[in-house]
């Protein structure tokens, strides 16, 4: 892995609407992060925090009423300002996405082979035979049995797990510089999940492919990623090396996610959880967005929170981070705050 970022996101904001004199409804704001070549980054948080819409924004796949601010630099090209034609040339070759819902992402009227082959035809000049060989090899690589047969089948003829693997094969077929994986192994059994994660990790290590995992599965993040971004209510609240984030989180929300893991609570203990829910985009708190659900919130938390450095490799959006002692993946004997 090198230190040169393949992706650099600066002050990214995402909103929707904003026509006829109405302001756009802001979904994501003030995103700042980068991913180096060969780096594997996990983006975690509850549903509704803005993870998937961030991935779609990086791909420039948001609907026409989306409003983007800031800058997304991919291999030196500003994706937010590039023409639609330029972006199409980069999708699949420079950046690819494994979508969360394969049945929605795959076209029901084309065979699996045709759909994966189209991704190749857009970026390479191959004979029909060469294209078929590449697609069959891609299907085999993601663990699909009898890939020669599956090549000619339609999405509805495949199981949910196979459709998910087709989506992964489609994303990998051109060996892009950056892969955004939105819950890539949700529909897969444990054995195939491990196989796919090993494949993505090897691709990262051998080819320098950067990976952004959007997931609820902190186990996948722990085993696969090198850095973890915790997202809450459209903001990154913690950015840290994965071992530090999981072992000694500095933001109460990260700690809350970890404390909600089943193994943390023991066999008979009360199940830990974060009270409340993620606020709606039109009802965001004025200060810290997590404050209404945070057991450590004080008067100072009513002010807007900046994402600040607590070390060279770590940032946190909490004004009280220096004085809190928070539980990580393993509970501390004397967790809590210092008054």
Please give the mean pLDDT across all residues of the chain. Answer: 89
| Phi and psi at residue 205, to the nearest 5° | -75, -40
pLDDT surpasses 70 at 105: yes
Helices (H) and strands (E) in the chain, counts: 11, 14
13 lies in the same domain as 116:
yes
Which of 225, 257, 289 delimits the end of a domain?
A: 225
Give tens-digit pLDDT for 148-205.
Answer: 999 999 999 998 888 988 999 999 999 999 999 998 877 678 888 888 888 889 889 9
| C-beta separation of 93 from 176 below 8 A | yes
Nearest one of 172, 225, 221 to 199, comparing CA atoms: 172
Q: Measured between alpha carbons, how far is 74 from 96 in angstroms, rounded to an integer? A: 12
What is the share, in percent, of the chain residues with pLDDT greater than 90?
A: 68
The last residue of a domain, from among 190, 225, 260? 225
* Per-residue confidence band for 338, with pLDDT thresholds at 50, 70 and 90: very low
Q: Which of 159, 194, 225 is the last residue of a domain?
A: 225
- Indicate whether 136 and 249 sit together in one domain: no
Shared-domain flag, residues 23 and 82: yes
pTM: 0.90
The predicted pLDDT at position 13 comes to 95
> Does residue 6 contact residue 210 with C-beta atoms inside 8 Å?
yes
Measuring CA to CA, which residue among 34, 24, 107 is closest to residue 66?
24
Same domain flag for 160 and 260? no
Q: How confident is the model at residue 271 (pLDDT cuts 50, 70, 90)?
A: confident
Are 103 and 157 in a shared domain? yes
Strands 210-215 and 178-182: parallel
pLDDT of amino acid 19: 67
| 282 and 172 co-located in one domain | no
Query: Do 183 and 255 lie in a common domain?
Result: no
What ranges make up the beta strands (E) of 157-301?
A: 178-182, 210-215, 227-232, 235-241
On the question of pLDDT at 326 being above 50, the answer is: yes
- Percent helix, strand and coil across the chain, each rounded to 5? 35, 25, 40
Q: Residue 332: its pLDDT value, please?
A: 41
Residue 59 sits in a domain of what CATH number? 3.40.50.300
Confidence of residue 93 (pLDDT cuts 50, 70, 90): very high
Confidence at residue 260, expressed as pLDDT on a 0 to 100 scale: 84
Query: In this structure, are 123 and 192 located in the same domain?
Result: yes
| Average pLDDT of span 30-50 | 95
User: For residue 136, what is the enclosing H or E element?
Assistant: helix 128-141
pLDDT at 102: 80
Element holding 205 (H helix, E strand): helix 190-207
Question: Do residues 29 and 162 share a domain?
Answer: yes
What pLDDT does 266 receive? 58
**Are 288 and 314 within one domain?**
yes
pLDDT grade, residue 268 (50/70/90)?
A: low
User: If we measure between CA atoms, which residue out of 239, 212, 215, 247 comes closest to residue 306?
Assistant: 239
**Domain assignment of residue 218, given as a range:** 5-225
The strand pairing partners of 227, in sequence order, are: 41, 241
First CA to last CA distance, the chain:
42
Q: Parallel, antiparallel, or unpaired: how do β-strands 210-215 and 40-44 relate?
A: parallel
Summarize the confidence of residues 78-92 as an average pLDDT. 91
Query: Under a CB-based contact definition with an 8 Å cutoff, are residues 158 and 164 in contact?
Result: no
Residues 305 and 184 in one domain: no
pLDDT, one tens digit per residue, over 42-84 is: 999 999 999 999 999 999 999 888 989 999 999 989 999 899 9
Whether 153 and 289 map to the same domain: the answer is: no
Q: How many domains does the chain have?
A: 2
- Enumerate residues 6+ apart whose C-beta is below 8 A from 263: none
Per-residue exposure over 25-47, b if at least 16 CB sit within 10 Å of its own CB, e if not: ebbbbbbebbbbbbbbbbbbbbe
Whether 201 and 172 have beta carbons less than 8 Å apart is answered as no
Which pLDDT score is estimated for 255? 94
pLDDT at 14 over 80: yes
Report d(CA 144, CA 138) in Å as an integer. Answer: 9
């Amino acid at each position: 892995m090198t230190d040169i970022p393949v992706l650099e996101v600066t002050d990214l904001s995402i909103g929707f609407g904003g026509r006829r004199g109405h302001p756009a409804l802001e979904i994501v704001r003030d995103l700042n992060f980068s991913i180096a070549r060969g780096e594997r980054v996990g983006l975690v948080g509850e549903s509704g925090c803005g993870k998937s819409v961030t991935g779609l924004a990086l791909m420039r796949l948001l609907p026409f009423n989306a409003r983007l601010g800031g800058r997304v630099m991919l291999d030196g090209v500003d994706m937010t300002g590039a023409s639609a034609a330029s972006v199409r040339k980069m999708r699949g070759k420079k950046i690819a996405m494994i979508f969360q819902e394969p049945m929605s992402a795959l076209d029901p009227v084309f065979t699996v082979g045709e759909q994966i082959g189209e991704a190749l035809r857009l970026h390479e000049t191959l004979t029909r035979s060469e294209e078929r060989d590449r697609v069959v090899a891609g299907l085999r690589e993601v663990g699909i049995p009898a890939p020669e047969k599956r090549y000619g089948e339609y999405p509805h003829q495949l199981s949910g797990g196979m459709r998910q693997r087709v989506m992964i094969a489609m994303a990998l077929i051109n060996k892009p510089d950056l892969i955004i994986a939105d819950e890539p192994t949700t529909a897969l059994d444990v054995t195939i999940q491990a196989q796919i994660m090993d494949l993505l990790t090897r691709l990262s290590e051998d080819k320098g492919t950067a990976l952004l995992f959007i997931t609820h599965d902190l186990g996948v993040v722990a085993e696969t990623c090198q850095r973890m971004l915790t997202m809450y209510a459209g903001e990154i609240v913690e950015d840290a090396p994965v071992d530090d984030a999981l072992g000694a989180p500095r933001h109460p929300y990260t700690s809350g996610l970890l404390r909600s893991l089943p193994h943390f609570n023991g066999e008979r203990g009360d199940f830990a959880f974060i009270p409340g829910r993620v606020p709606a985009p039109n009802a965001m708190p004025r200060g810290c967005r997590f404050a209404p659900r945070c057991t450590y919130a004080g008067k100072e938390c009513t002010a807007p929170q900046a994402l600040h450095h607590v070390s060279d490799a770590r940032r946190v959006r909490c004004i009280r981070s220096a004085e809190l002692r928070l539980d990580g993946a393993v509970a501390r004997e004397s967790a809590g705050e210092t008054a």
